[in-house]
Amino acid sequence: MKHWKSSLCSMLVFLFAAWTAVASAKDIVVGFTGPLSGPAAEYGQDCLDGIDMAVKELNAAGGVRVNGRKYTYRLEKLDDAVDPTRAKNNAMRFVAQKSPC
């Protein structure tokens, strides 16, 4: 139980980081790190499916406008296999690859 809480926390931290980077991005990248393999894979896939459904609905509705510019959402995923260290590394990897600089 402790592991999935750490993974969920890491995922939420990255979602916040992706949202704050919207000013310099063409897309709003929603990064998901969760258990897509291992003992909690079914739970992780359910979470990913829910986020994917929300991204598709938002994009189908025209995305979002910020300061007059239109943005769409893009979902990217990484597997952490219920390992908190791997979840943290995945979140750091997302931020490093999608740096707003």
pLDDT at residue 7 is higher than 80: no
Q: What is the Cα–Cα distance from 24 to 51, expressed in whole angstroms?
A: 22
Would you kindly state where each structural domain of the chain is located, as residue ranges? Answer: 2-22+38-97
Quote the pLDDT of residue 22.
44
Chain mean pLDDT for the chain: 82
Residue type, 77: K
Give pTM, 2 decimals: 0.70
CB proximity list for 35: less than 8 A, separation 6 or greater:
4, 7, 41, 43, 44, 79, 80, 81, 82
